[in-house]
A = this chain, B = another copy of it.
Amino acid sequence: MTPQRQMVLDVVCEIGDHARPEQIYELVQQKSPAVHRATVYRTLKLLCELGLVTDTTTAEGHMVYEIAGKQPHHHLVCRCCGADLEFPDEDYRAFVDKLEEKSGFRIEATHITLSGLCPDCQK
């Protein structure tokens, strides 16, 4: 675990929510401008493989990272204001379980992001 890797991990922790690579890169830059973008990408991929962070794809197709080890949960992201509401796994899990049973597929999407409008932006 090199300083660069620690820093990337810290930043992902710090952001807490869904962290996009560019956002991570910018924060890392602020702390240590020498760290290269490629290092951030390589590190994120590595941290994923190590299971320290998880990756998801948003409904808009952006890769987002998050610290692993939290309770399984998912995200509702407001496409208008960006508000990010986590929701617990139980309902999704029930849905996926039923789907696996019916289809025979083993579903690997363990962390999903749904896009929509938050209560405020619906007004």
- Residues of A participating in the B interface, judged by any CB pair closer than 8 Å: 57-63, 76, 78-79, 85, 87, 91-92, 94-96, 98-99, 102-109, 112, 114-119, 122
Contacts of A122 in B (CB 8 A): 106
B109 touches A87 (CB 8 A): no
CA distance A52 to B53 in the complex (A): 39
Looking at the complex, which one of B60, B105, B117 makes contact with A106 (CB distance below 8 Å)?
Answer: B117
Asked, given contacts A57-B59, A60-B57, A61-B62, whether A118 binds B95 with beta carbons under 8 Å apart, the answer is no
A79 touches B108 (CB 8 A): yes
In the complex, what residue of chain B is closest to A119 when comparing beta carbons? Answer: B104
A107 touches B76 (CB 8 A): yes
A108 touches B98 (CB 8 A): no
A107 touches B114 (CB 8 A): yes
B87 touches A99 (CB 8 A): yes
In the complex, what residue of chain B is closest to A116 when comparing beta carbons? Answer: B107
